[in-house]
Homo-oligomer: A and B are copies of this chain.
Amino acid sequence: MTLVDMLDIVGTFAFGLSGATVAIRKDLDLFGILVLSASVGVAGGTMRDVLLGDVPPDSLKDVRLLLVASSAGLAAFFLGHRLEKLRRPVMLLDAVGLGFFAVAGCHKALTHGLPPLAAILLGVMTGVGGGVLRDMMAAEIPRVLREDVYAAAALAGAAAYAAAFHFALPLLPAAIAAIVLTVALRVGAEHFGWRLPRAPWS
């Protein structure tokens, strides 16, 4: 198993957990929990593949990701309240997943010949798409639009990677640095309460 596979699985599992947490909070049954964790786990990558014309998407060609995301749902179902105590490690896994998906989405878009700005945005969408779907299905405003420095951290990681790609730097170290950057911004924002400006007059 390569490092890429491993990061992919970690991220998908973390995203699946976040779907399951919302599903449990909304009092969904076991099936609803599994559906929501699977959707959240693979939605970002699926949107990316549909927009790049790479269909059927990876999530359907290789069912490992769906299995990983559903396992997260199953784990959350049995862990129950103890999951709340794991809030910090879960948040860290989620940040790793966010950084990995943003960089991997950006990389795939660049190798499909998209212009850098579009590739960065597709990277962000890969990272946050699952969470957006999760909150829309829960009939809530996507947390990523409210939560300071979540999508912005994904944007920083994807932009750093796109710059490295543009200047033909070695890609593996660049990817790792970009993921670390996203995780650092995300964890720092959570720890120090960094915020982005709101409309001055609101």
Chain A residues packing against B (C-beta within 8 Å): 23-24, 26-33, 35-36, 38, 46, 50-53, 55-57, 59-61, 63, 66-67, 76-78, 80-81, 109, 112, 114-115, 117-118, 121-122, 132, 136-142, 144-146, 148, 151-152, 155, 195-202
Partner of A139 from the list B32, B121, B140 (CB cut-off 8 Å) is: B140
B residues within 8 A CB of A155? 31
Question: Is the Cβ of A145 less than 8 Å from the Cβ of B137?
Answer: yes
B residues within 8 A CB of A112? 56
A29-B197, A51-B56 given as contacts; is B145 within 8 A of A36 (CB)? yes
B residues within 8 A CB of A121? 38, 60, 66
Question: Is the Cβ of B137 less than 8 Å from the Cβ of A137?
Answer: no
CB distance from A198 to the nearest CB of B (A): 5
CB distance from A25 to the nearest CB of B (A): 8
CB distance from A45 to the nearest CB of B (A): 12
* New contact pairs (4) apart from A32-B145, A52-B55, A81-B201, CB-CB < 8 Å: A35-B145, A56-B112, A76-B199, A138-B141
Question: Is the Cβ of A151 less than 8 Å from the Cβ of B35?
Answer: yes
A60-B114, A66-B118 given as contacts; is B51 within 8 A of A46 (CB)? yes
B residues within 8 A CB of A59? 118
Question: Is the Cβ of A60 less than 8 Å from the Cβ of B122?
Answer: yes
Closest to A36 in B: B145
Question: Is the Cβ of A51 less than 8 Å from the Cβ of B55?
Answer: yes
A31-B152, A50-B55, A52-B55 given as contacts; is B63 within 8 A of A117 (CB)? yes
